[in-house]
């Protein structure tokens, strides 16, 4: 009963940040379908939130919405660029999609100050440095 309320567990889907251009410090967020099935009707919302470090004032970015009709097995799709200005915030991505008429939904999060180059690892699949969301 509880699984019906919470929905099925999401596995094989990743949100990651790749350092696409080291010279210009260009970072982009991607959705990676590591599953062996097509995912359809993909909706992604993204936003940033947190507190100003010196004033404690609450900060919230605009919510952006993205959609993809399908994402093939082992396919990657660029979601958006991400600017270093928001690395000090929680960067949240909600991903919803359908597989065989079942709706899946999961939150992916990059905590404040986690998007730093020392946390990036070389990702062979992309031949770039990257960071997976939690």
Model confidence pLDDT, tens digit, residues 94-111: 999 999 999 999 999 999
Query: Average pLDDT for residues 12-41, to the nearest whole number?
Result: 96
| pLDDT for the residue 3 | 52
- The string of DSSP letters for 13-79 reads EEEEEEEEETTTTEEEEEEEE-SSS-EEEEEEEEEEEEE-TTT--EEEPPPEEEEEEEE-TT-EEEE
What pTM, to 2 d.p., does this model score?
0.92
What digits encode the pLDDT tens for the residues 5-24?
677 999 999 999 999 998 88
Give the CATH number for residue 47.
2.60.40.10
Q: Domains in the chain: how many in total?
A: 1
Asked whether residue 1 carries a pLDDT value surpassing 50, the answer given is no
**Boundaries of domain holding 128:** 2-132
């Amino acid at each position: 009963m509880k699984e019906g309320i919470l929905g099925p567990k999401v596995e094989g889907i990743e949100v990651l940040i790749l350092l696409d251009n080291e010279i210009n410090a260009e970072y982009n967020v991607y959705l990676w379908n590591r599953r062996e099935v097509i995912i359809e009707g993909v909706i992604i919302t993204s936003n940033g939130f947190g507190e100003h470090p010196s004033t404690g004032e609450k900060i919230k970015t605009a919510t952006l919405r993205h959609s993809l009709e399908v994402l093939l097995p082992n396919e990657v799709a660029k979601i958006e660029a991400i600017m270093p200005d928001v690395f000090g915030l929680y960067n949240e991505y909600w991903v919803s999609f359908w597989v065989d008429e079942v709706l899946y939904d999961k939150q992916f999060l990059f905590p404040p100050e986690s998007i730093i180059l020392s946390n990036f690892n070389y990702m062979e699949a992309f031949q770039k440095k990257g960071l997976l969301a939690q």
